[in-house]
Amino acid sequence: MLNRLLSNDFPRSRILAVLLAALLIALAFAPFLFPGVRALNLAAKILVFVVLVASFDLLLGFTGIVSFAHTMFFGIGAYGIAIATSRLGPTWSAVAIGLASALALSFLLSLAVGLFSLRVRAIFFAMITLAVASAFQTLASQLSDLTGGEDGLTFKVPEWISPGFEWADAPFLGVSPDGKLLCYYLLFLVALALFLALLRIVNSPFGRVLQAIRENEFRAEAIGYRVVLYRTASSVLSALFASMAGAMLALWLRYNGPDTSLSFEIMMDVLLIVVIGGMGTVYGAVIGTAMFLYAQSYLQDLLKWGSDAASGLPWLSALLSPDRWLLWLGLLFVLSVYYFPAGVVGRLRAGALSAKASKHG
Helix (H) or strand (E) holding 153: strand 153-154
Cα–Cα dist 64/175, whole Å: 44
140-146 LR contacts (CB < 8 Å, sep 24+): 140/75, 140/79, 140/258, 140/262, 141/258, 146/83
Position 20 scores a pLDDT of 94
Q: How far apart are CA 147 and CA 82, in angstroms?
A: 8
pLDDT in tens, 248-303: 999 999 999 999 999 989 999 999 999 999 988 899 999 999 999 988 888 888 88
- Residue 292: closest CA among 241, 252, 332, 319: 332
Q: What is the pLDDT of residues 70-106, one digit of tens each?
A: 999 999 999 999 999 999 999 999 999 999 999 999 9
List, for residues 154-198, the tens digit of each pLDDT value: 999 998 888 887 777 667 666 777 889 899 999 999 999 999 999
Distance of CA 192 to the CA centre of its chain: 12
- Find the helix packing angle between 122-142 and 70-88, rounded to 10°: 20
Q: Are 57 and 279 in contact (CB under 8 A)?
A: yes
Do 306 and 320 form a contact (C-beta atoms < 8 A)?
yes
| pLDDT at residue 94, rounded to an integer | 95
Q: pTM, whole model, 2 decimals?
A: 0.93
CA-to-CA distance for 41 and 37, rounded, in angstroms? 6
- Say what angle helices 37-60 and 283-309 make with each other, to 10 degrees: 140
- List pLDDT tens digits, range 50-77: 999 999 999 999 988 888 999 999 999 9
Q: Which domains does the chain possess?
A: 2-360 (1.10.3470)
Coil, strand or helix at 244: helix
Q: In whole numbers, what is the pLDDT of the chain averaged over residues?
A: 88
Cβ within 8 Å of residue 248, ≥6 positions away: 47, 48, 51, 77, 187, 190, 191
